[in-house]
Structure 1
Amino acid sequence: MIDKRNFKLDVLLPMKAHSERVPNKNFKIFIDRPLYHWVTSTLEKSDYIKTIWINTDSDFIAKDAVKNFKKVKIINRPEHLRGDFVSMNKIIDHDINMIKSEHFIQTHSTNPLLKRETLEKSINHYFENLSLYDSLFSVTKIQSRFYTESMVPFNHDPNELKRTQDLQPLYEENSNIYIFSKQSFNDAGKKRVGIKPNMFIIDKLESIDIDNENDWKIAELIAKYNIGNLQ
């Protein structure tokens, strides 16, 4: 039996200054405060979180984060890891080798609707199933009719028109939560999704990852509607 008092881990919260599709996305005001404040506030409130490590190339984010959040520590992103085409796994590899911890959770500033309850459920699920799985990542369950680009049905038979709720579900990696250990990361060839990963389902309305302007608008509408229930 794993002692729940040990269900604590460090957070990797990478943020760069530049954003191509939504300018200044990470610190653009989302309703009433910078976007990255939303998920950082959720992380800060959890007793399961020891330290929030923000890897950034932005002096503004570094100064603002330390000023506003007690659990935050800054990792200044080295030049060789800057730019829009650097693999996130390379940034993770750099960071976990600087931190004296074994278990990590990685999330993004672009997940403002992620709830503390969901975060803590995922952490519990990860530790309680370590004998079966080496890592965890969050997904959104989808039951719709899909086709390939060449119009080949992917998950259904057009001649047998099943109800969508009866279709075999597909699971979309939604980039909200990744939990792993140093060992699982290295065993998987330096990847956050391990060799034996466990999928953790998050509700679609909570798991929006802001990638473009339309995502931003949808997330703001949901946040305004659910403002009393978030965090």
Structure 2
Amino acid sequence: MANPTPAIIPARGGSKGIPRKNLKLLEGKPLIVWSIEQVLATRGLTPYVSTEDEEIADVARGAGAQVIERPDELAGDTTASEPVIEHAIEVITAEVGRPDQVMFLQATSPLRLPGTLARCLDEFAVTGADSMVGVVPAEIFMWRRVPHVEALYPYEARPRRQDLLPEQLRYRETGSLYLTRTEIYERHHNRLGGSIELFVMDPLEGIDIDAEHDFTLAESLWRRMGERDA
């Protein structure tokens, strides 16, 4: 039987925008715990939290995650996510063997519907993709002004939303999740590469918590999700 896919959740302790953001409560639960519990509820996934922070590590262990001790040089304000994921892959490989694929989850996108992570695993397997990026439907009636004012849709024959063709649809990368073959990290040092597929998520799953007011918005969306599924 194949080993479970590691779901790696980076959680730095030195957040600048919202101090201690990963431990801030959302609906009475530390932000980091939301992603951990979603992974634990998904067959075929094992949660790993990469952190340099002892308090985050203790909370993560208490919620059922494995903890990867992140070196201080990978915990700076400008550190990219890819080196953090690659370090986690090295640790996991040394402990349980090299994974064929890894899921990268951002704790700042805590709203994921039941079954979302399992659906991602299934679609990844079916499509044969090398990497998959979580997206939500986006507005198509967009403009830009550089180098000149230009519509990014056919304004001369403005389509009705319900008449949009598949090739006219647009999607926004949520940052919520990525699923990637390990060799892509090894070869390209990037979460995306090779054959890339879109994993379309529910619009309610598209929030990224970056400011204090986003917590209030996330709580409101979480209640909407519960009301809709009731």
Normalising by structure 2, what TM-score? 0.87
* Corresponding position: 1:66 with 2:61: yes
Distance 1:156 1:61 in 2: 45
Partner of 1:115, secondary structure, is: coil
Contact 1:145 1:164 in 2 (8 A): no
SS at match of 1:159: helix
Residue 200 of structure 1: how far off its partner (Å) = 0.8
Q: How far apart, CA to CA, are the structure 2 residues paired with 1:17 and 1:227?
A: 30
The residue number in structure 2 matching 1:224 is 223
* 2:6 match: secondary structure: strand
1:97 is aligned to 2:90? yes
- Secondary structure at the aligned position of 1:36 is classed as helix
| Distance 1:180-1:225 versus aligned 2 partners, 3 A rule | same
Q: How many residues align?
A: 220
The answer on whether the counterparts of 2:36 and 2:63 sit within 8 Å (CA) in structure 1 is no
Q: Runs (4+) of structure 1 moved beyond 6 Å?
A: none
Once the two structures are TM-superposed, the CA of residue 85 in structure 1 deviates from its matched residue by 0.7
Q: 1:120: which partner in 2?
A: 118
Q: Residues 34-113 of structure 1: matches in 2 within 5 Å?
A: 34-49=30-45, 51-69=46-64, 72-99=65-92, 100=97, 101-113=99-111
Of 145-154 and 121-130, deviating more is 145-154
Tell me the secondary structure at the aligned position of residue 42 of structure 1.
helix
One-letter amino acid of the counterpart of residue 162, structure 1? P
Q: 1:216 and 1:88 mapped to 2: Cα distance? A: 23
Give the unaligned 5+ runs of structure 2: none
Q: Which residue of 1 aligns with 2:24?
A: 28
Q: Per-residue deviation at 1:8? A: 3.3
CA distance in 1, matches of 2:159, 2:226: 37
Percent identity for Structure 1 against Structure 2: 25
AA aligned to 1:60 is: E
CA contact (8 A) 1:139 1:173 kept: yes
The one-letter amino acid of 1:58's match is D
Question: In 1, Cα distance between the equivalents of 2:49 and 2:228?
Answer: 26
**RMSD of the TM alignment (CA)?**
2.1
Tell me the residue number matched to 2:184.
Answer: 184
Please tell me whether the aligned partners of residues 57 and 82 of structure 1 are also in contact (alpha carbons under 8 angstroms): yes
Unaligned runs of 5+ residues in structure 1 are none
What's the secondary structure of 2:141's corresponding residue?
A: coil
Partner Cα distance (1:143, 1:7) in 2: 39
Structure 1 position 67, deviation (Å): 2.0
Give how far 1:119 is off: 0.9
